[in-house]
A and B are shown apart, each in its own frame.
Chain A
Amino acid sequence: MANRRLLVKRLKAVRNIRKITRTMELIATSRFKKALDRATEAAEYTRKISEIVGDLGQANLKFSHPLLERRVEEKRSVLLVLTANRGLCGGYNASVLRQTVAHLRMLREKGVDVSLEVSGKRGIKFLNFQKIAMAQSYTHFEDKTSFADVEVLASRYVDDYVAGRIDRLDVAYTRFVSSSKQFAVVEPILPISSLAGMDKQPSSGLEYEFLPSAEQILAEIVPAAFRAKLFKCFLDSIVSEQIARMVAMKGATENADEMAGSLKQQYNRARQAGITSELAEIIGGAAALG
């Protein structure tokens, strides 16, 4: 029966797909664990930086730095979009891009000249399709994005901001809150609104010696804090990508299971119907002869 053979074929295809999605789920799980470890390890640096900023607080220092100053008029800005290089991760890329497009429209309405920088093939493809011009695109930020790679970007932004070539920098990425909660956001990261630990009272009560001076350390630590923050955006989006893929693939595997079950049932019914009708034919034939 043609119908039966068709069902067998479909069943095989669904089972194959299930194998693939199941494997992808497992891969995403292991990558997620690695990415999460990296993100946790990186948090230590940020913590130390804010500790030093807290220490600087006791030096009766006025926190002023070019990166902390908000420009009165925002004319040129950069929007950095972090998407994945690969798809099959649910709404991960779509939600970042939705935020991006909305933000872009908002800024352009205000008359701000936005230059768009996009990381990830998915984002590049989408924006090309939408015919939105990009100033820069990157595809080399993958799972194992190193600080050195991000630092190149960060240093360029710092130089541009200090020199007045840009007045603001936003990053559209997926923020990781916990393994069950991540969401796409557009976050302004330049000017730095506040340094972590800036308004904290020095708890240690220690008298520090500053080499060369508190001001000079501040001048160095603000860019360092910015770099660490940008790096965190990248790490967050990597972790979130793996979670999104894990969840999407888990759903796909379950769906494939369900489909395989119902196909199997259909197949069995078709087979049984075949047997019944053959039997009926034999019995009918025997009755006609007798």
Chain B
Amino acid sequence: MADLRLVLVTPEKTLFDRPVASIKVPLFDGSAGFYPGRAPLVGRLGMGELRLVSPSGETESYFIDGGFVQVKGPVVSVLTNASVPCADISRKAAAGKLEEVRSERAGSDDDYKGVARRLEKARKMLALAAKE
């Protein structure tokens, strides 16, 4: 079987660079999965869950906040602003955050964009929260 490597990079550091069996990333309009041998691609990411299956068959999930994905040969590079393992997101904190964002009111069109983005982020995080 051909190899597949996932390189997860944030502006602060490279979180990991390791072999995986398959990857699922949230694209701007849905999600996309990559298996070894995927044709080259550059895509825009949305917010949501990055799921990877390690060569031993375990599944790991991360919440990622937008960015880009590049598939080049066996290497899948994911560039994202922020990434948190779903196992580290607590449901309580995520629900609290959602409440907080819900109470925000946008005063102008510019504000609205920001609030809508934060709302989407809080919702997605709550949906992915795996810790009590």
B-binding residues in A (CB < 8 A):
38, 41-42, 44-45, 48-49, 51-52, 55-56, 146-148, 151, 159, 163, 204, 206-212, 214, 216-217, 220-221, 224, 227-228, 231
A209 cross-chain contacts in B, Cβ below 8 A: 39-42
Is the CB–CB distance between B68 and A147 below 8 Å?
Answer: no
**Top-3 shortest CB links A-B:** A211-B43, A41-B13, A206-B40
Closest chain A residue to B70, Cβ basis: A52
Is the CB–CB distance between B29 and A228 below 8 Å?
Answer: no
A48 cross-chain contacts in B, Cβ below 8 A: 7, 9, 70, 77, 79
Smallest beta-carbon distance A237→chain B, Å = 16
Q: Which of B7, B39, B42, B43 has the most chain A CB within a 10 Å cutoff?
A: B42
Complex: A207 Cα to B39 Cα, angstroms: 8
Smallest beta-carbon distance B62→chain A, Å = 16
> CB-defined interface of B6-40 with A at 8 Å, one 1/0 digit per residue?
01011111100000000000011100100000011
Q: Which of A45, A146, A220 has the most chain B CB within a 10 Å cutoff?
A: A45
Is the CB–CB distance between A212 and B28 below 8 Å?
Answer: yes
Among A159, A214, A220, which residue has its beta carbon within 8 angstroms of that of B68? A220
| Number of residues from B at the complex interface, CB < 8 A | 27
Complex: A221 Cα to B43 Cα, angstroms: 11
Is the CB–CB distance between B81 and A217 below 8 Å?
Answer: no
A-binding residues in B (CB < 8 A):
7, 9-14, 27-29, 32, 39-44, 67-68, 70, 72-73, 77, 79, 81-82, 110
11 sampled A-B residue pairs with Cβ under 8 A: A38-B13, A41-B13, A42-B12, A44-B14, A163-B110, A204-B40, A207-B39, A211-B28, A211-B43, A227-B11, A231-B11
Closest chain B residue to A148, Cβ basis: B82
Closest chain A residue to B82, Cβ basis: A148
Complex: A220 Cα to B68 Cα, angstroms: 9
B7 cross-chain contacts in A, Cβ below 8 A: 48
Smallest beta-carbon distance A80→chain B, Å = 18
Known: A52-B79, A211-B27, A212-B43. 16 other contacts (CB 8 A): A38-B13, A41-B12, A41-B13, A44-B9, A45-B9, A45-B11, A45-B12, A48-B70, A48-B77, A48-B79, A51-B70, A211-B41, A217-B43, A217-B68, A221-B68, A231-B11
Smallest beta-carbon distance B96→chain A, Å = 18
Complex: A44 Cα to B68 Cα, angstroms: 14
Smallest beta-carbon distance B29→chain A, Å = 7
Smallest beta-carbon distance B97→chain A, Å = 14
B32 cross-chain contacts in A, Cβ below 8 A: 211
Is the CB–CB distance between B28 and A55 below 8 Å?
Answer: no
Closest chain B residue to A209, Cβ basis: B41
Closest chain B residue to A151, Cβ basis: B81
Smallest beta-carbon distance B126→chain A, Å = 19
Complex: A42 Cα to B15 Cα, angstroms: 11
Closest chain B residue to A51, Cβ basis: B70
Complex: A151 Cα to B66 Cα, angstroms: 13
